[in-house]
Structure 1
Amino acid sequence: MAMMNKTRDLIQGIVREKSLKWVLSRRTSFEDEYEEMRHSPSGRRKWISDLSPVANVIVGRCSQILNVTMDELQSNFNSVASDTKKSSSNYARNFLEYCCFRTLALSTQVSGHLSDKTFRRLTFDMMLAWEAPAAESQPTLKVDKERTAGVEAFSRIAPAIPTIADVITCFNLFEVLTTSTGGRLTFAVYEKYLGALDRAIKKMKTQTESLLLSGLRLHREERILEVDGTLTTQPVLEHIGTSTWPGRLTLTDHALYFEALRVVTFDKPKVYELADDLKQSIKPELTGPWGSRLFDKAVMYKSISLSEPMIMEFPELTGHSRRDYWLAIMREVLYAHRFIQKHEIEGVEKEETLSKSVLGILRIQAIRDLLLSAAIKYETLLMFNFCNQLPGGDNILETLANVIASRRLDRTNQSTSRSGMYSISTLGILSNLGLVSQVSTEDKLLVGEIVVGELTSLERAVNEARINYKQLEKAQATIDGVKVDGLDTNFAVMKKLLRPMLQLGDFLISMASWDEPIKSIVFCSLSCFIIFREWLGYAVVMLLLFLAIFMLLTRISNQGKPIDQLKVKVPPSMTTMEQILAVQNAISQLEELVQDGNIILLKLRALLLAVPSQATDRAILVLVLLAFAVAFLPIKFLLIMAFLEIFTRNSPPRRVSSEKFMRRFREWWFSIPAAPFLLDGNDKKKK
């Protein structure tokens, strides 16, 4: 351990010295640094013809921090990179990424690097250089105030520093950071974000130390992620049954701790586990006085270890952003442990996984500190939360599990992990920040999730899910656009949409009514022939193929054209009272339908229970005859008989007999008594 501390102090000294020299010598503008390199083509600041001016400056800075010449950097890259990564079309960008990843892996070993203004400027300039890496790129060098970074550059450089972003949520983070800057990231916003992130890390360390000194006892080594309820103006209320207690709520990377507030001290903390498999569920909840459900400001925690749910309320004057924040970070820890349990992740890989959740929570704490937006969706900035909601998020988590499993092999391959082709790992950077205990070099995950010159399997899974999500968003936008108000208007739209089905129904009713005998004879004969030849399955196949061909031809002919709008005749407008009466009438009709349905079920129950009546005897006889018919007659004959019975009932030869049969059937049905039932809590028997 002593040897490791000495090594770390040496690295920090070297990096600080190099950074200080760079600050003292680089007080001139970016253009002056560029001119110096052009006129000094030897030594550390050599000009590389394949790179753009901006990329040359960044590689020069990297060479100073790494204490190697630019020639040595280029030679090292050429020796470890594959032929595809050294191809002329991608050489400049791949070489730039190699220099950036090596530099960031060294720079982030300095404690407090996020507060270093030179580190902030360097990482932002890396994004600018990434957008224009090749010699044929724009030669503009006014990057201090005028240039901004795009989402692609941010998604390559920022996740290489796991503190700043991760592969899964970096696009959502970029959208939040660029809300007020037109979709491009400015250095001013980026610097404020890193400053807020640095404050969040320091706050986590301070909270852990102060709570442990105040008497909070954790039964295992845990990191304290958030604390609330310490201010009397912002209490946290615990509801269990009818009792309510104010207190202090603490979230760690394993559990929730609630300490009820007494006069001047806190009670012994109650522990609500998030790490164990207790079938937990966490969801928003409504609270109010005397058990009423009025205020949407609470979170409910349920598990098999509790006899009744626990509800935590986060009162605030307006909105429920405080509750939404706690709901998101509690679920993030819970989902992370579910992921670990599902994929049986252990050891240093488990620590790496939890570290991803910890850094995600730190990032949204930084975003809250900046107050960039009052309507931030916290769950979209947390890895496991986001994957739990994102379409295709399960595929992302499966890919992440495979990546974590492959790290066991990477740990044994020191040459690969130290080649500079990979970004630094999450656990490695948390160790550098002092948020996890020191681990030996042999146990560290030495590689991250970004690889020079290629998209990892995790990045590809994220991109695919994002594409699908955008398609779903477009579909949802069309849904929101066709919603109309008014019960009568919605019925008119539905009737118009169902017009083809209604027309088919009218046609079948017309055939069964024998309004046009010739058409009915042709229809019945053709249908009987299809059933007799057992072509019914082929008819269904032909219908499905017809629909598929119709859709294909329509798609080809209408490619690029908008869908024809459906014209709906708006019914006469109804007043609010008329709409209420219409709804009341519809409810009454629905109630009658339910009553009729219950009567049918009660009559059938009476038949099954063989209530003495002539109806029961006849039902038994019919069932026996049907059983023999099914047993001895082919199915096609039964189908033909059923079809002819239904569609020839109103034909001229059968009309009179059918009327008599239906009359007798109704009389038989009415003669069936309804089975009695008893309403629970009411002694009166219903019949």
Structure 2
Amino acid sequence: MEGGIAMFENFMRQNSLKSLFLGGKRKSEGDENEDSPRPIPQLSLISNSVVARCSRILLLSTEELQRSFESEMSDHVKQPSSYARNLLEFCSYQALHVVTQRPDHLADKDFRRLTYDMMLAWETPGIGNVSLLKEAASHGNPVNDDEDGGSLFYTNSLSMAVQVDNKKTVGAEAFARIASACPAVADIITAHNLFDALTGPSGGQLHFLIYDKYLGSLDKVIKSAKSVSGQSQVSNLRLVEGEIIIDTDGTVPTQPVLQHIGVSAWPGRLTLTNHALYFESFGVGSYDKPVVYDLAQDLKQVIKPELTGPLGARLFDKAVLYRSTSVAEPVYLEFPELKGHSRRDYWLSISREILHVHRFIRKFNLKEIQQTEALSRATLGIFRYRAVREAFHTLPSHFKTLLAFELAEQLLGGDMILATLSTRLELLNSQSQKHDVAVGASSKNEKLRPGLSPFSFLTLTRLGFVLRKEKHVAEGTAFLASDVCVGERNPLEMAVEQSQSNSSIAEVARATVDQVKVEGIDTNMAVMKELLFPVVESVRRLQFLASWDDPLKSTLFLALTCYAISRDWIKYILSCSFVFLAALMMWHKHRSKGKPLEAFKVRPPPSQNPVEQLIALQQAVSQFETLIQDGNIILLKLRALLFAAFPQATDKVVLLLIFMAAVFTFVPMKYLFMLVFVEAFTREMPLRKESSDRLIRRTREWWFRIPAAPVQLIRPGESKKKK
């Protein structure tokens, strides 16, 4: 068995995918009919074409694949309504597990067409999809073997070739289910965002030409990153074990990266690895010793966009600010370009992604293979982000970013995504024993091993990146190794969907906030006055009752309030208010029946010219300054009383505090509250008005006699001169 597996792996390395499907020699038509895979009755034409190609990849017949599916999968996956699609997923995932082991699978045109056909078949898996059958019959002319050396899409059992047609497109769900099974192509967390980035100009439908262009760009990006590590220009970087170079900028002398510290600036080269940022300033004929900004340690790092310019001037929005406890002052990394700031935005995003993944590792205390898998996931995400940027000159941002860990930081409920991901990483199986799916799938009695495989790490390793020195890592089974499972939705995918749904609602709410913002202090005051009208009206009515202009209403209100206080009903006021508001909201909900809310009508004040607006602003600032001054005076007088600067007043305050302490100790709280209410409410009562005014006047005169504590302002220059 082991010898057969080794021969199969050697055969995979030495032969292209075409040789798997067509063999090394041309066969006669009779032989083709004998060896051709038999179609499965439940599947559509294109699904049978895909399953036939999967059977050749796995060296199994279609009947054996179907028997494996029925014996290994649970009953709910084999329901008639979803049987065809789940069988297609079963065959596709196992075949992709094999073909993605080839280091150059992204460069293979046949791999791209195979995965795209899998997406087409996923959307029309069953025999009821006759429209696709007719389209395939009308467009499906066999590819000439003399021109292309044999085609992946020639299916002997169907006596025709099902080819990728430029008019055919796939949707988001098909892309997410198939592409996510190839870690280099897509991540289950960002698969829908990637689909949106690829299909922006095409209205939400993915064409093969766009898909092919994306994979071609991704292949170039990965090969470029792999070649950079071996070049002599980065040999002065002392990388630790498992550290790989992700991207480099500033290698062209005409487009350097500028490092600003204080008022000084140095041009140089910036390199990002999966652990740190390295900046090397230009020297004489070479680069100086690199400055390391470690992103893996907990140094309270902050990375954000910032303005910069010559001599510290804030002129250009093209820089990234880095601040941590390891640097004495903030560091600005500027990315000059003639138009826009896409270059800066790209480096800002990928630097944050590495910072976020290391925070994720520390938060959930990931070790060894789990840590390596998380870093590999972030690295592959940056490669995809870079591929989309270079191929389509777009940079998805905010809730549509292609970087998994940055997306989790931005989405509402993103912490649930990270928690779900950490739970899945805990299931990683790092045993040294291997399990080959191509052979294991043919055994009926072999049970699936528990646990997941470090799929992203294995993918990077196959692509030529060295992250660990371990010789063997268990790879698991095809449909358990990746983030997609046959006939089931990944918990990670559901967490992302829920977070994106909440974030979409927040985006809609944010749009309404932007719409209702108005300009001008007077206009905003008018809007606030109308919104607070119920509160203002309630306060006005209380003031009317407290003024005793209508003695009967005031007396009745005073009696009812005192009775409520004596019966301890006051504590229920807040609860009754909440119940009243809830009932009011339900009444409005029943009355509106889903109708949009009517616009709040506000009559704006007369418009003012810029000079009048400046004068109004100056008056508002002056009034605010006066309020602050009055507050400071009150605090300074209290300080004088505390430190006995006015002994006569201090004696009275001490006696008052002792009396209040005794009252609060021996008198029930409800009677104190009633006493305060009666005293405040009856000040304007005809029987008490004269004595109340006299008491308030004496208290104010006493307050005016209290001096304020002195204040001394020490200027920075004066303190230095004294020293």
TM over 0.5: yes
1:173-322 aligned at under 5 Å gives the runs 173-211=194-232, 214-322=235-343
Distance change >3 Å, CA 606–CA 652, structure 1 → 2: same
Corresponding residue SS for 1:95: helix
Q: Name the aligned partner's letter for residue 22 of structure 2.
A: K
Shift of 1:402: 0.5
Deviations 1:384-416 (A, max 9, x none): 111111111111001100000012389889599
Does residue 110 of structure 2 align to residue 118 of structure 1?
yes
Shift of 1:571: 2.1
Whether the 8 Å contact between 1:302 and 1:310 is mirrored in structure 2 is yes
Whether the 8 Å contact between 1:162 and 1:424 is mirrored in structure 2 is no
Does residue 428 of structure 2 align to residue 394 of structure 1?
no
CA–CA distance in structure 2, aligned partners of residues 63 and 460 of structure 1: 31
**Paired position in structure 2 for 1:145:** 166
**Paired position in structure 1 for 2:482:** 448
**Paired position in structure 2 for 1:435:** 465
Shift of 1:248: 1.2
Distance change >3 Å, CA 378–CA 499, structure 1 → 2: closer
Shift of 1:15: 5.4
Shift of 1:3: 12
Distance change >3 Å, CA 311–CA 84, structure 1 → 2: same
Distance change >3 Å, CA 256–CA 364, structure 1 → 2: same
Does residue 602 of structure 2 align to residue 568 of structure 1?
yes
Does residue 658 of structure 2 align to residue 666 of structure 1?
no
Q: Name the aligned partner's letter for residue 270 of structure 1.
A: V
- Specify which of 550, 572, 577 is matched with residue 538 of structure 1: 572
Corresponding residue SS for 2:119: helix
Does residue 534 of structure 2 align to residue 500 of structure 1?
yes
Distance change >3 Å, CA 510–CA 522, structure 1 → 2: same
Shift of 1:465: 0.8
Distance change >3 Å, CA 378–CA 247, structure 1 → 2: farther
CA–CA distance in structure 2, aligned partners of residues 20 and 112 of structure 1: 17
Deviations 1:152-209 (A, max 9, x none): 1111111111111101111111111111001111111111111100000110011111
- Specify which of 143, 165, 170 is matched with residue 191 of structure 2: 170
CA–CA distance in structure 2, aligned partners of residues 542 and 494 of structure 1: 26
CA–CA distance in structure 2, aligned partners of residues 518 and 653 of structure 1: 15
Whether the 8 Å contact between 2:433 and 2:472 is mirrored in structure 1 is no
Corresponding residue SS for 1:290: helix
Shift of 1:291: 2.2
Whether the 8 Å contact between 1:325 and 1:378 is mirrored in structure 2 is no
Q: Name the aligned partner's letter for residue 510 of structure 2.
A: Q
Deviations 1:493-537 (A, max 9, x none): 111111111111112211222222222112111111111111111
Distance change >3 Å, CA 409–CA 370, structure 1 → 2: closer
TM-score (structure 1 length as normaliser): 0.92
CA–CA distance in structure 1, aligned partners of residues 593 and 511 of structure 2: 20
Whether the 8 Å contact between 1:348 and 1:443 is mirrored in structure 2 is no
CA–CA distance in structure 1, aligned partners of residues 558 and 59 of structure 2: 92
Shift of 1:431: 2.0
Deviates more, 1:594-603 or 1:379-388: 379-388
Deviations 1:350-406 (A, max 9, x none): 211111011011011101111343675598211111111111111100110000001
- Unaligned runs of 5+ residues in structure 2 are 136-163, 443-447
Whether the 8 Å contact between 1:492 and 1:569 is mirrored in structure 2 is yes
Shift of 1:424: 8.5
1:491-640 aligned at under 5 Å gives the runs 491-640=525-674
Shift of 1:252: 0.8
CA–CA distance in structure 1, aligned partners of residues 131 and 320 of structure 2: 54
**Paired position in structure 1 for 2:10:** 9
Q: Name the aligned partner's letter for residue 76 of structure 1.
A: S
Distance change >3 Å, CA 444–CA 279, structure 1 → 2: farther
CA–CA distance in structure 2, aligned partners of residues 133 and 379 of structure 1: 30
Distance change >3 Å, CA 296–CA 22, structure 1 → 2: farther
**Paired position in structure 1 for 2:145:** none
1:152-163 aligned at under 5 Å gives the runs 152-163=173-184
TM-score (structure 2 length as normaliser): 0.87
CA–CA distance in structure 1, aligned partners of residues 279 and 291 of structure 2: 5
CA–CA distance in structure 2, aligned partners of residues 139 and 165 of structure 1: 29
**Paired position in structure 2 for 1:100:** 92
Distance change >3 Å, CA 53–CA 596, structure 1 → 2: same
CA–CA distance in structure 2, aligned partners of residues 454 and 499 of structure 1: 54
Whether the 8 Å contact between 2:435 and 2:474 is mirrored in structure 1 is no
- Specify which of 360, 370, 380 is matched with residue 349 of structure 1: 370
- Specify which of 72, 80, 95 is matched with residue 88 of structure 1: 80
Paired residues in the alignment total 672
Corresponding residue SS for 1:663: helix
Corresponding residue SS for 2:375: helix
Whether the 8 Å contact between 2:376 and 2:460 is mirrored in structure 1 is yes
Corresponding residue SS for 2:186: coil
Shift of 1:46: 1.9
Deviations 1:224-261 (A, max 9, x none): 10111111121111223343211111111111111121
Shift of 1:5: 8.6
CA–CA distance in structure 1, aligned partners of residues 588 and 34 of structure 2: 66
Q: Name the aligned partner's letter for residue 108 of structure 2.
A: D
Whether the 8 Å contact between 1:407 and 1:445 is mirrored in structure 2 is no
CA–CA distance in structure 2, aligned partners of residues 402 and 42 of structure 1: 49
- Unaligned runs of 5+ residues in structure 1 are 27-35
Shift of 1:213: 6.5
**For the aligned residues, what is the CA RMSD?**
2.9
Q: Name the aligned partner's letter for residue 169 of structure 2.
A: T
- Specify which of 359, 384, 402 is matched with residue 381 of structure 1: 402
Identity in percent: 46
CA–CA distance in structure 1, aligned partners of residues 660 and 79 of structure 2: 78
Distance change >3 Å, CA 477–CA 430, structure 1 → 2: same
CA–CA distance in structure 1, aligned partners of residues 53 and 4 of structure 2: 29
Corresponding residue SS for 2:265: strand
Corresponding residue SS for 2:48: helix
**Paired position in structure 1 for 2:691:** 657
Distance change >3 Å, CA 616–CA 25, structure 1 → 2: farther
Shift of 1:214: 4.8
Corresponding residue SS for 1:568: coil
CA–CA distance in structure 2, aligned partners of residues 211 and 23 of structure 1: 41
Q: Name the aligned partner's letter for residue 63 of structure 1.
A: S
**Paired position in structure 2 for 1:335:** 356
Q: Name the aligned partner's letter for residue 117 of structure 1.
A: K
Q: Name the aligned partner's letter for residue 56 of structure 1.
A: N
Distance change >3 Å, CA 212–CA 439, structure 1 → 2: farther
Shift of 1:212: 6.0
**Paired position in structure 1 for 2:42:** 50
Q: Name the aligned partner's letter for residue 491 of structure 1.
A: M
